[in-house]
Homo-oligomer: A and B are copies of this chain.
Amino acid sequence: MVTESSRDGHLVRIAVDAMGGDYAPEEIVKGAILAAQKGGIEILLVGPKAVIEAELKKHLATEVPILCVEANEVIKEGEHPALALRRKPDASVAVAAKLVSSGEASAMVSIGSTGAVMVSTLQILGTFEGIERPVVAGPILGFAPDTILVDWGANVDCKPLQLLDFAVLGSVFAQKFLNVANPTVALLSTGSEEGKGDNLVREAYLLLQDSGLNFIGNVEGNDIPLGRANVIVCDGFVGNVLVKFCESLGATIAHWLKDSLGGHLPAAKIETLVARLVSSTNPAQVYGGGLLLGVNKAVVVGHGRSRATEVAKAIHIAKFAVETGFVEMLKSEHDRVWAKKKQPQSI
């Protein structure tokens, strides 16, 4: 599929789904060019070659290390991911995953649909033992940049062991991406004392106490903006609701602020304030990432509304993950905890 001559040992090769996202392929191609120009990577742009090449030509991007890989089909936002992938095995997102699976690329980036990325990741790349679906973690607030929430919503009806997994994955994430040596880990609950919360939290509490992680107990909803722990663990149902509520509340307050300040401050000052508020309360923008945790390879899924700058950022997150051996470190921490779980004295 990709000729051997294009390989370069010094470059991280990343497969990018050119057709995913609201502004594909234009903004994806532009983002790939931006990312490639920063150096250190070679990009395999996956999609209909004719379309991608036409986009590349628009930007006179012939000298950057970008190759096209043919994929004739596209999965659109709103399609049922599993069904669509069965009908369209040559969809760009699936071809990108196969490039990673075969070793032709070290990581993949797709701007969506999230469901299609999840399913192709699961089917083609696989997850660690015990990880049912890829886990998404990241800081959700610019006001608490050293606090990540995990899981953002892929995994619901979690078992206590899954929360332990989230804690392990989140802890490695915080070490690598937040640069925190020994991240504090907490369970999101309805009260800070042990015993508070629902059955899931109470059982996970015991597992976390015994995990070797820097577990500090329960935190409550109010502790998230205060950054009371580096890693805050919750079922993906709660994470999903919180992430969406956070973005929407921030945007609502920004709207109110704009109205309230109109006429009292210069328009440019208001715009700056509002933009800062929106970006500080939009989890997707705060993080800018979307690295799937618990997957056997580095996979980044971006927000559907990403523009070129965000696409380039997502590509560089994938590069960083490859260069730092992030997936290997996740896997080894995960295996350490799983080995312990399998001993008879554990739950």
Contact = CB atoms under 8 A, between A and B. Distances in A.
A320 B32 CA distance: 62
B198 A143 contact: no
Given A269-B264, A273-B260, A277-B253, A221 B199 contact: no
Contact of A224 (B157, B235, B248, B273): B248
Given A248-B224, A249-B246, A241 B190 contact: yes
Interface in A151-197: 153, 156-157, 188, 190, 197
A245 B250 CA distance: 12
Interface in A271-315: 273, 276-277, 280-281
A223 interface: yes
Given A156-B197, A249-B281, A241 B238 contact: yes
Given A237-B238, A249-B249, A252-B143, A198 B157 contact: yes
A257 interface: yes
Contact of A188 (B156, B241, B256): B241
A11 interface: no
Interface in A191-234: 197-199, 201, 220-226, 234
Nearest to A240: B190
A277 to B, nearest CB: 7
B245 A222 contact: yes
Given A237-B197, A277-B253, A190 B156 contact: yes
Contact of A225 (B153, B222, B252): B252
Nearest to A237: B198
A128 B235 CA distance: 31
Contacts of A220: 240-241, 244
B244 A222 contact: yes
A243 interface: yes
Nearest to A277: B253
A141 interface: yes
A199 B249 contact: no
